[in-house]
Amino acid sequence: MHPLQLKLQREIRRCSVTDPDTGCWLWNRQVSNSGYGRMMISNGGHTLHESAHRISYLAYVGPLKRDDIVRQRCGNRLCVNPDHLILASERQEGAVA
């Protein structure tokens, strides 16, 4: 596993709290206007702002393409639990909203 993935995993767990009823890892830091967790990553002098659930997918599951859509199967926009995250087609994503 890449050291950056381990760093991201630690940060995700540090910045989330587990809901005992749903198993959701609820992001408790910055939240976007649309209700999704936001995360800032600094690596090699570059800073990236990204959705926390996308970063969780990247850290726990694997690489993403820029246009990949990650959604929470639980429906909770603040959830960053990798077990609740799935890749979705644009068609599926439109149906969820």
Domain ranges of the chain: 3-96
CATH topology of domain 3-96: Homing Intron 3 (I-Ppo) Encoded Endonuclease; Chain A (3.90.75)
Buried/exposed code over 58-85 (b: 16+ C-beta within 10 A; e: otherwise): bbbeeeeeeeebbbbeeebbbbbbbebb
pLDDT tens digits, 48-91:
889 999 999 999 999 999 899 999 999 999 999 999 999 986 54
Note the pTM of the prediction, 2 decimals.
0.85
Q: What is the rounded radius of gyration, in angstroms, for the C-alpha atoms of the chain?
A: 13
Whole-number mean pLDDT of the chain? 90
